[in-house]
A = this chain, B = another copy of it.
Amino acid sequence: MLDPWGAYIEQLDIPPLASGPLDGLRFAAKDLFDVAGHPTRAGNPVFAERWGIPSRHAWAVEALLRAGARLVAKTHTHELAYGMTGINPHFGTPRNPRVPEGIPGGSSSGSAVAVAAGLVPLALGSDTGGSVRIPASFCGILGFRPTHGLIPLDGVVPLAPSFDTVGLLARDPELLDRAARVLLPPLNTPPLKGLLLVREGLEVSTPEAQQAVLDLLPFFERLGCRIEEVHLDLEAIREVQRILQGTQAWGIHEDWINRVHPPLGEDVAHLLKLAQALSSGEIGRAMIEALKLRKELQPPSTCIYLLPATPSSAPPLVRLRSSEEALAFRQQTLSLTCVASMGGLPAVAAPSLQEPPVGIQLVGPRGSDLSLLELVQRYMSHLQHS
């Protein structure tokens, strides 16, 4: 198959293991997911040697195959899934089908590009601090991060297990719902009735991203949702996320890096160095803060947070070559994605009417995954008729 967008690192043809709700569907999986007999590279040229050739599929890959789907490719990822741009100095950077000079976003870069370009209707990604939602926003598609802990991570390279989740990317909201039901345990679906507009989410964003969110309000009003403005200290949440995600990422990779000295992209090496230098005191305080945040961020059972998925549409690739700009980009973006990551909450990034694309983000209470996906179906049908 042609892949003019550079989404794939390896083409495959793994047939379904059974017949089910995904019969006839073709999907791709981020190269962070094990596929039996194929290397898991995690975006690094020597990682596969450390990891070994997997003898089993990742749990999520196996579940989709058992539901009738066919795996056609492994997709590029930001190195070690530790980055938001999707720029990969080792294997090349997938091209954003919607923004010629723009980054694809990451870390699930190839999965988002493959779906946005129409190569596959569905792709597996992973989301720790926004890795499904960010490329979905930049590529103008849907990205789903489930409630933390609901979908098994067996056979997925970890980044920071307190926040790691298996995510999905798709264009069609009905398909996204169908695939999510294959992966999720049975859940209640109480209707979502209240919308919490996060004021600080607008403040860190460009006018375009703000507009994407504001365009949505009439839709929610027509649904009978109560709309309320709320305040969240996104900078403080982001800082806790940064510290704990870094601590766990370094905890996972320290031995391997010190032993093998693998080639590492400048950005990833820099993040790991920062993580290595964290002191036990600041980590301790972040752990305590996270304990509080996990409680405080849980919205009331019928309410969802609304904020932009990213602070802007995809920035030009060249701009992020400067490490200062890259850091600013990282901080602003993490401010928007950290609410769901820190809260363990399910979230969907969905397209807006803005062009170039910038997504909106809906974040629900823990366990409200199916209600959220149902709401997204109604929103997307509204969008198509706008």
Contact = CB atoms under 8 A, between A and B. Distances in A.
Interface string A268-288: 000000011111111111111
Nearest to A274: B280
A246 interface: yes
Contacts of A161: 287-288, 291
A275 B248 CA distance: 17
A285 B251 contact: yes
Nearest to A253: B281
Contacts of A63: none
Contact of A283 (B158, B247, B277, B291): B247
A251 B287 CA distance: 9
Contact of A278 (B277, B280, B288): B280
Interface in A228-242: none
Nearest to A282: B251
Nearest to A292: B161
A283 B249 CA distance: 11
Contacts of A278: 280
A37 B280 CA distance: 34
Contacts of A288: 158, 161-162, 248, 251-252
A276 B287 contact: no
A144 interface: no
A250 interface: yes
A283 B281 contact: no
Nearest to A247: B284
A101 interface: no
A244 B162 contact: no
B276 A280 contact: yes
Contacts of A281: 250-251, 254, 276
Contacts of A282: 251
A248 B287 contact: yes
Interface in A139-182: 158, 161-162
B280 A277 contact: yes
Chain B CB within 10 A, most for which of A244, A278, A287: A287
Contacts of A284: 247-252, 254, 275
Contact of A247 (B158, B246, B275, B280): B280
Interface of A: 158, 161-162, 244, 246-252, 254, 275-288, 291
28 contacts: A161-B287, A161-B288, A161-B291, A162-B287, A162-B288, A162-B291, A246-B280, A247-B280, A247-B283, A249-B284, A250-B280, A250-B284, A251-B280, A251-B281, A251-B283, A251-B284, A251-B285, A251-B286, A251-B287, A251-B288, A252-B288, A254-B284, A276-B279, A276-B280, A276-B281, A278-B280, A283-B283, A287-B287
Given A279-B280, A280-B280, A287-B287, 8 more contacts: A244-B287, A247-B287, A251-B280, A251-B283, A251-B284, A251-B286, A277-B280, A280-B283
